[in-house]
């Protein structure tokens, strides 16, 4: 069975974009692949979170992954910082990574432009750490969005470079696993932008209470309405219809689509219906989030069991890496 690995930075609660875009697909993947999911707390250090923020965010993601349906018996969930072997492989990969290629990575250039006062070495070597996360388990596939494709190519490059340098066929080339092909959906933001994201402040979180969801949806950006029958929907309106497509019934979607086409649509009615459908779709997850979040003993047990399985896999890889390089195995 092919090995699949995926990580998420602990930057707060999961939102609808995370769920419908990735996590829902993960639940399906755990039945078909040898999956491991991790919480990438080392990656979060580039933004200098407080110790309390790290601890709280890690527990939040762990509880919400469980609430979404990831079964740790089928797919271990571990915290990145519980697997020290990743850092050693990160060191070895960095020894063979070159400044020029790291500086050309688009995500580094974007972040350096957005935060010129915090262009740290962790940002520069992010692709090396991501590669270590993947290669330490000799993963075959990695579910990623288009924004991570360049980093995936870097991971493949670092693996090939290690193999060539030491004349071995050790690391497999991890392939990008298209979330779209696995049923992942691009969920729009409520502000009319193309994508829901925490940094954009346009999210509906899985843990949001019904009253909060209603308030957010009613504030969603719209326009003055159609001026001609059967006219194309502008992006801000298409976003709302995309939401309907994801969470509402086909009849509901068709009803409002007809109202748009005959120019009788009332956005207030659409938003009210959309809010209720989102509440219904997320209610089971919201209740499970509360249940898991209050069970510290279970969360600790899941994280510990996941770390043990991840360390076993990572230690086996690292011992071979050390011997290939010329170091004594542990």
Residues designated catalytic:
111, 195, 198
Q: Left if phi > 0, otherwise alpha if psi is -120 to 50, otherwise beta: which for 33?
A: beta
Q: List, in sequence order, every residue forming a beta bridge with 3; answer none if it has no partner.
A: 34
List CB contacts of 301: < 8 A, sequence separation 6 or more. none
Which residues lie below 8 Å from residue 9, measured CB to CB, with a gap of 6+? 40, 41, 43, 44
Could you give the CA distance from residue 296 to residue 94 in angstroms, rounded to a whole number?
Answer: 37
Task: Determine contact, residues 311/82, Cβ cutoff 8 Å.
Answer: yes
Residues 131-163: b if buried by 16+ CB within 10 A, e if exposed: bbbbbbbbbbbbbbeeebeebbebbbbbbeebb
CA distance 245 to 238: 10
């Amino acid at each position: 069975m092919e090995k699949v690995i995926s990580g998420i930075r602990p930057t707060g609660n999961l939102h609808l974009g995370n769920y419908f875009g990735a996590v829902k697909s993960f639940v399906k993947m755990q039945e078909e692949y040898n999956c491991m999911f991790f919480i990438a707390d080392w990656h979060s250090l580039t933004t200098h979170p407080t110790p309390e923020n790290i601890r709280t965010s890690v527990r939040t993601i762990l509880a919400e992954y469980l609430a979404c349906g990831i079964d740790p018996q089928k797919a271990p969930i571990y915290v990145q910082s519980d697997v020290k072997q990743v850092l050693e492989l990160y060191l070895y990969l960095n020894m063979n990574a070159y400044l020029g290629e790291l500086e050309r990575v688009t995500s580094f250039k974007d972040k350096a432009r957005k935060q010129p006062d915090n262009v740290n070495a962790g940002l520069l070597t992010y692709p090396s750490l991501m590669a270590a996360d993947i290669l330490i388990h000799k993963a075959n596939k990695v579910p990623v969005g288009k924004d991570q494709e360049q980093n995936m190519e870097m991971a493949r490059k670092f693996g090939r470079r290690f193999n060539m340098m030491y004349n071995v066929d050790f690391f497999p080339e991890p392939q990008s696993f298209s979330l779209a092909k696995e049923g992942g959906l691009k969920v729009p933001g409520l502000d009319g932008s193309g994508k829901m994201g925490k940094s954009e402040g346009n999210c509906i979180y899985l843990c949001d209470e019904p009253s909060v969801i209603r308030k957010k949806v009613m504030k969603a950006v719209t326009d003055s309405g159609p001026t001609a029958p059967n006219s194309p929907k502008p992006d801000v309106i298409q976003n709302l219809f995309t939401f309907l497509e994801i969470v509402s019934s086909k009849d509901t979607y068709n009803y409002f689509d007809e109202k748009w086409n005959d120019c009788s649509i009332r956005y207030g009615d659409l938003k009210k219906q959309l809010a209720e459908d989102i509440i219904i779709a997320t209610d089971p997850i919201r209740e499970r989030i509360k249940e898991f979040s209050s069970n510290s003993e279970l969360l600790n047990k899941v994280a510990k069991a996941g770390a043990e399985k991840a360390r076993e896999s990572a230690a086996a890889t690292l011992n071979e890496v050390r011997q290939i390089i010329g170091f004594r195995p542990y």
